[in-house]
Amino acid sequence: MNGERATGPSSTACDSQDTCGCGSALADRAAANPLAGFSRTLLWAFGLIIAVVVLLIVAAEQLGVLDVLTQFVPWPVWFAAVLTGGWPIFRHVLRATLRRKITSHTLMTIGLAAAIVAGAWPAAVLIVFFMRLADYIEYFTAEHARQAVRDLTALAPETARVEREGREVQVPIEQVQVGETVIVRPGEKTPVDGEVIGGHATVNQAAITGESMPVEVGPGARVFAAGFVQLGHLRIRVTAVGKDTTFGRVIQLVAEAEQHRAPIQRVADKFAAWYLPVVVTVATGTFLASGKLLATAAVLVVACSCSFAIATPVAVIASIGASARRGLLIKGGRYLEVLAKATVVVLDKTGTLTLGRPVITDVIPLDADLGADEVLRLAATAERYSEHPLAEAVRGAAALRELQLAEPQDFEAIPGMGVRVRLDGESVAVGGRRLLAGEGLPPIAAELEAQGKTLLFVIRNGQPLGVLAAMDTLRPDVPEAVAELRRLGVKHLELLTGDNERTAAAIAAPLGIHWRANLLPEDKIAVVKEYQRRGHVVVMIGDGVNDAPALAQADVGIAMGAAGSPLAIEAAHIALLRDD
């Protein structure tokens, strides 16, 4: 990569698991997903509040309780209650008025004032209640989303193992200096950005790069903070620490996107802008025709208060509830309004368009005496006790073909290369091209790599027996979903991935969408901002830590909730609770 950014076919309108790959199942992540509980709590709490309040008001009206309260409670008490409860809203309306803007709150405030003039104090209190409830729903969901920034910091290591005066010293991350050497062992996260100066390891850097496969790194390779070292160990020369690392910039980008997101004009506000003059005209006509202030106030109360005060929270709750039953969590009604205006949809690859896990797609024998099943059986036997994600894919392919595996002996994991075992007295190795030890690549290898596939070579006693190709495959329902987006009027779809150009092209080409590869989190958010500067309404769909800044910045961010990272879910405005 070396920081190079690649793009796919000409863009005219113009990933990514956060997991370490160390064996966490999608089901476990879905079970730990807080969204289902959050949506149920939200629906039950606010739905119950509205139902109880409405029933109480109806009962009180029928029994004459409201008239009794109006008669015996002094008006200063009513006025104090209305002023105290509604002050934040009144202040907002005043500021909007000074900016010459009419909002739905402006209408409700006029209705509230009319209720006060008419002496309908219970109605005034009820209007204030529903106005505050609608605002609290928006605040509640927004505050839940801001948890993303706090969750980010928990993903980065807080300490590092540093070489100082010939000894390894564990120090807080803020005490690590650029130029020092950090030691990272198997099962640990890289605490800094840096250059590998010693050791070999298999590292999952999907949190930053979005690459679907763990990468084999050695001297000269670049690694990022929050990467997970699965096999091997590394000595890293520090190039960036803390907020200066790529991961640190992700935290900063998410925070900035949350703070500077453009305001959304609500449908209710647009309606209020032309509805208010109509209401004022009708009220004025009523006063001129009847000469009664009470009748005029009644018109304003009916036209400006109850419908808007009740409709806002009820509509939000109804939409969230209906969506949740269909596996969709929406963190506020405003995002439904924006979705209808979307012109650009940008998508992550790994875990969003794809399943997020490698699958063996090809088994090619290189020895005429061996069939594909025998090559796969040897590979699965050698990988029987390996923890590498590709090993799991090999074992899965063998299980699908119901192959019987032997018991390997002298299992050895070779960091940066693969595995080696003894089987029936012979040496069997499975791994990348470095295992070929000077042997030329088979002709089929170049063809498979051009398709964006990762290759594993099966070698017995130094002789290549076959090649296995693995790829993170497309979700089966993606083509239909992309076609439906086009039918709904989305003008431009684009794939944004941290993976390499070959893999990006292999996924995007069958879908007929544009692509950009080798992107870091700051590159993804830059793409979103660029489209927004051009006047587009942008929807971002992703699932990983590296998608969080773009999800937060987009007009609507949609996270893959069932298999996505909790951080992406928090940063997004909508989450898909089902894995489809």
Residues with catalytic function: 348
Between CA 49 and CA 207 the distance in angstroms is 40
Contact 448, 467 (CB under 8 A): yes
Kindly write down the DSSP assignment for every residue of 8-36, as one continuous string. -S---------S-SSS--HHHHHHT-SHH
Q: Which residue carries 């476990």 as its tokens?
A: 28
Q: How far is CA 139 from CA 11, 369, 551, in A?
A: 38, 68, 19
Give the residues across from 493 on adjacent strands: 345
Tokens standing for residue 211? 């690459």
Cα 322 to Cα 130, 316, 330, distances in angstroms:
21, 10, 10
- Secondary structure of the chain: what % helix, strand, coil (to 5)? 50, 20, 30
Query: What CA–CA distance (Å, rounded) separates 351 from 564?
Result: 7
C-alpha triplet 563, 576, 477: angle, nearest 5°? 80
- Number of H-type helices and E-type strands within the chain: 20, 23
Q: Which three-class secondary structure state does DSSP give residue 458?
A: strand
- Give the 3-state secondary structure of 380-444: HHHCCCCCCHHHHHHHHHHHHCCCCCCCCEEEEEECCCEEEEEECCEEEEEECHHHHCCCCCCHH
Q: How far apart are CA 560 and CA 351, in angstroms?
A: 8
Tell the residue number behind the tokens 């540093």, with chain if given: 162
Classify burial at 409, counting beta carbons within 10 Å of its beta carbon; exposed 0-12, middle 13-18, buried 19 or more: exposed
Burial of 466 (0-12, 13-18, 19+ CB in 10 A): buried
Contacts of 195 (CB under 8 A, 6+ apart): 220, 221, 222, 223, 236, 237, 239
CA distance 42 to 331: 10
Dist. CA 35–CA 39, nearest whole Å: 6
d(CA 419, CA 422): 11
How far is Cα 177 from Cα 235, in angstroms, rounded to an integer? Answer: 15
